[in-house]
Amino acid sequence: MTRSQRLDPLLNLMQQRQDAAARDVAERDRQLAEQEQRLDALRRYAEEYAITPSEATIAPALLANRIAFRAKLETAVDQQTRIVDSSRQNRDVERTRLMLASRDNKVLGKLADSYRAQESRVAEQRVQRELDDLGGRRRTNGNDGAE
């Protein structure tokens, strides 16, 4: 088994790792988009609720409830913002893993290509030596018959 053939199982494993990392990045992207949509919806709802009602007078109990609900909405927006930031960090970590897996795969692929090129040169040199030997024997055998 040649050196390049010995690298084939490792190349397959590296490709599988790269594929898994790509799937993880796609999943993290999906999760981030979902969390960002939730944050946008919460912000829109908080903005809509922040608008004071058109009636000039609101009962004190309703006003207190409204203020408490707005505080809860702001807390929810803050919490969702932290979740989005965490999701973004997770996605960035997975992207880094994908880049590293891709780089490792390329390096190993270049090494295998280098081994294959070297093996090809060695095979060509061997064939050339055999042809030269064969040609040399023919000349020697041809000269023996002429004498």
Structural domains of the chain, count: 1
Mean pLDDT for 5-17 is: 92
Q: Is residue 66 part of a domain?
A: no
Cα gap 145→83, rounded to integer Å: 92
DSSP state of 1: -
Q: Count how many residues are written for the chain.
A: 147
Instruction: Give the pLDDT confidence score for residue 1 in this predicted structure.
Output: 85
Q: Is residue 38 part of a domain?
A: yes
Q: What is the pLDDT of residues 109-127, one digit of tens each?
A: 999 999 999 999 999 999 9
Cα gap 74→43, rounded to integer Å: 8
Cα gap 130→21, rounded to integer Å: 48
Q: Domain range holding 77?
A: 3-50+73-116
Q: Is the pTM of this model over 0.85?
A: no
* Burial (Cβ within 10 Å: 0-12, 13-18, ≥19) of residue 39: buried
- The per-residue DSSP string of 43-73 comes to HHHHHHHHSPPSSS---HHHHHHHHHHHHHH
Mean pLDDT for 66-82 is: 94
Q: Is residue 57 part of a domain?
A: no
Q: Is residue 93 part of a domain?
A: yes
CATH number assigned to the domain comprising residue 77: 1.20.58
Q: Is residue 143 part of a domain?
A: no
Report whether pLDDT(53) > 70. Answer: no
